[in-house]
Amino acid sequence: MRKIHVKASREYDILIGNGLLKKAASLIADACGRPETVIVSDDTVYGLYGEDLKKDLEAEGFAVKSFVFPHGERNKNLETYGELQEFLSENGITRNGLIAALGGGVTGDLAGFAAATYQRGIRFVQIPTTLLADVDSSVGGKTAVDLKSGKNQTGCFYQPSMVICDPETLKTLPEEEFLCGCAEVIKYAVYGNRELFDFLKTEEIRDHLEEVIAVCVTMKRDLVEADEFDTGKRMMLNFGHTFGHGVESCSDFSILHGQAVAIGMAVMTRAACAKGYCTEETVTMLEEILKQYGLPDRASCSKEELLQAVLKDKKRKSGTMRIVVPRRIGSCMIEEIPAEALPEWIAEGGLI
C-alpha cells in the first residue's frame, strides 16, 4: 500500500493499493471512528461493489444506509443532489455523520458537494472506481453538480477526510472508460513528468497501476498544496481541456471526456509548435502515445464550431484567457493570450 499525505484546508491521506476496498471499513474506522455512514454510489458501481462494502462496514460496527442513483453525467444535477440531501435528513444523519462516495468522478463530485453542504458540512471519504477518479477527481476537493447551462456550474472546494484507491476495481471498468483515464495520465506526463511519459511508452500500464496512480496523485497533491483554490499553478491540470471542453460540447457529448482531452492536447501542441513554443518532435511524440493508447488526436467539428464552443465555455468574447502550452514533453507553461488570438491557435492546431 502507498500512502500520500495532503496538507490542504483539511489534511488527509490518499491510500493506494490492490485489494484495499476489502479493507476500507477498518481503514475508515481508523481515520474517522464509526459514525453513521451513507454510501453514495451509482447503480452500476453499487451493483458491483456496494453490498460488500455495506456488509464490511456493518461487520466493523458502522450503522450504514445506501443512496443509489442512476449512473451517468446527466444525473450529476440539482435533482439528484436534492434527493440525497432529503435522504440524509430522513435518515437522521447528524453533523457527526459520514458519506462514503463509491464510484467514478460523477459520484465523487455529487457526494462531495452534498457532504460539503448538508448541515453545513459533514465528513466524506472518496473511494474511486474509475482511473479518472483515481488520478484526478477524487483528490483536491473540487465538488460540484451540473446546471442546465453547463458542467460543474454549482459547487465548492471541500476536501475529503480520506481517499481509498483500489486499482483492482478497474478490472470491471469498460475499456473505453479506462482509456479515458489514460488520457488524463498522459496529461500529467506531458505537463510535468518526462519520466512518466517514457514509462507509459514502454510499459503496460495495467501491470503498474498502483505506481502510475501514485505518481499522478503526488503531482496533483503538489499542485493542490501550492494552489488549493485554483487561481494559479493548479491550472496546469487544464492542459488539453480548453480545446477539449470545446470538442466535447461540439460533439454534443458523444465524444467521451478523455477522448476530447486527447484531441485538445493534440490541437494545443500542434498550435504551440506552429508558434515556436515547442518542436515538431514534441508533436510527434504526443500523437504517437495517443495512438498507442487508442485515443484520437483529431476532431470532426469545424474550426468555427470549436471557436464558438470555446468562447461559450470561457464565457468571454474579448479580454484575455489563460491556456496551458507545452514547451516539450514534461514541461508546460501557462500563457495569457487575447481572446482575439484564439482563431489563429485553432487554425494552427489542425483539427481534422
Cβ proximity to ligand NAD, 109 vs 297, nearer residue? 109
* Residues 117-136: x where in contact with ligand NAD by CB under 6 A, - otherwise, as a string: ------------xx-xx--x
Residue 337: which H helix or E strand, with range?
strand 331-338
Q: Which of 25, 28, 32, 42 binds ligand NAD (CB under 6 A)?
A: 42
* Residues 153-172: x where in contact with ligand NAD by CB under 6 A, - otherwise, as a string: ----------------x--x
Instruction: State residue 216 phi and psi, 5-degree precision.
Output: -65, -45
Cβ proximity to ligand NAD, 130 vs 282, nearer residue? 130
Q: Which stretch binds ligand NAD (CB under 6 A): 10-18, 89-97, 106-114, 297-305?
A: 106-114
Instruction: Give how far Cα 172 sits from Cα of 19, 54, 70, 167, Å.
Output: 14, 19, 18, 10
**Which three-class secondary structure state does DSSP give residue 185?**
helix
Give me the DSSP letters along 59-120. Answer: HTT--EEEEEE--SGGGSBHHHHHHHHHHHHHTT--TT-EEEEEESHHHHHHHHHHHHHGGG
> Which residues face 229 on adjacent strands?
none
If we measure between CA atoms, which residue out of 235, 219, 21, 202 comes closest to residue 126? Answer: 21
Examine residue 44 and tell whether it contacts ligand NAD (CB under 6 A). Answer: yes
Instruction: State residue 102 phi and psi, 5-degree precision.
Output: -110, 105
Q: How far is the CB of 276 from ligand NAD (least distance, A)?
A: 31
Q: Which of 14, 40, 45, 261 binds ligand NAD (CB under 6 A)?
A: 45
Q: How far is the CB of 277 from ligand NAD (least distance, A)?
A: 25
Q: How far is the CB of 270 from ligand NAD (least distance, A)?
A: 24
Cβ proximity to ligand NAD, 273 vs 309, nearer residue? 309
Residue 323: which H helix or E strand, with range?
strand 320-328
Cβ proximity to ligand NAD, 140 vs 349, nearer residue? 140
If we measure between CA atoms, which residue out of 103, 87, 31 comes closest to residue 60? Answer: 31
Task: Write out the three cell numbers for 38.
Answer: 451513507
Q: How far is the CB of 315 from ligand NAD (least distance, A)?
A: 17
Cβ proximity to ligand NAD, 109 vs 287, nearer residue? 109
d(CA 153, CA 167): 30
d(CA 266, CA 215): 23
Binding positions for ligand NAD, 163-222, rule CB under 6 A: 169, 172-173, 177, 180
Cβ proximity to ligand NAD, 177 vs 227, nearer residue? 177
* Residues 56-95: x where in contact with ligand NAD by CB under 6 A, - otherwise, as a string: ---------------xxx--x-------------------
Q: How far is the CB of 342 from ligand NAD (least distance, A)?
A: 23
Q: How far is the CB of 115 from ligand NAD (least distance, A)?
A: 13
Do residues 101 and 111 lie in contact, with contact meaning Cβ atoms separated by under 8 Å? yes
Cβ proximity to ligand NAD, 50 vs 326, nearer residue? 50
If we measure between CA atoms, which residue out of 42, 161, 51, 36 comes closest to residue 91? Answer: 36
d(CA 260, CA 75): 21
The footprint of ligand NAD (CB under 6 A) covers 42, 44-45, 48, 71-73, 76, 103-107, 109, 129-130, 132-133, 136-137, 140, 142, 151-152, 169, 172-173, 177, 180
